[in-house]
Amino acid sequence: MFKRNPSKQSKIDTLIGPKTRINGDVIFAGGFHLDGYINGNVKSEAGAHAVLSVSEQGCVEGSVAVPSIILNGVVKGDIEAGDRVELGPKAKVHGNVHYAVIETAIGAQINGKLIHRAVPAREAVPKPKD
């Protein structure tokens, strides 16, 4: 994919190979790396720290709802990232991207809206009282 800090790399619990095609929704926890094709929605289990990684060969035709996504392939649907979106140079998104933090490489394509999500209230810094 693209350059990443080794300390930021997550453990891969699930790997879908390039010759694998899934028709249906996928729900996962942990690290999920996709080299294949999914025709359905992809989301992580509620409350789980999960990372979806889609390689140049990978494609999702459906919506994605995860805390973090590292995309260098194609998503044909909306992305709902509770935490972070990383778009590599070959990333293509045909849909809206909801994010808290986004990192975009030169060459990434987004055909939709970028919608910033405010930091949740529990993480926000309280305003000083006057």
Pairing, β 92-93 against β 74-75 = parallel
pLDDT computed for residue 47 by the predictor: 77
What is the per-residue pLDDT across 81-110, written as a single tens digit (0 to 9) for each? 999 999 999 999 999 999 999 999 999 999
pLDDT score at 49: 87
69 within domain boundaries: yes
Full domain range(s) for residue 98: 12-111
Token pair for 99: 């994010």
What pLDDT is attached to residue 10? 65
- Residue 60, in any domain of the structure: yes
- Whether 78 maps to a domain, the answer reads yes
For residues 79 and 96, the answer to whether their CB atoms sit within 8 Å is: yes
Alpha-carbon span 9 to 51, nearest angstrom: 10
* 45 belongs to a structural domain: yes
CA distance 7 to 27: 26
∠ CA 126-103-39, nearest 5°, is 110
Tell me, yes or no, whether 116 lies in a domain. Answer: no
Instruction: For the chain, report the end-to-end CA distance as a whole number of angstroms.
Output: 49
Q: Is residue 72 part of a domain?
A: yes
Q: Rounded to whole angstroms, how far apart are CA atoms 113 and 1?
A: 24
| Six-digit token string for 60 | 């999702």
pTM (two decimals):
0.83
Tell whether the model's pLDDT for residue 6 goes beyond 50. no
In a domain, residue 122? The reply is: no
- pLDDT per position as a tens digit, 38-55: 999 999 998 778 999 999
CA angle 108, 55, 47 (to 5 degrees): 95
**pLDDT score at 97:** 97
Q: Is residue 3 part of a domain?
A: no
Look at the chain and report how many structural domains it folds into.
Answer: 1
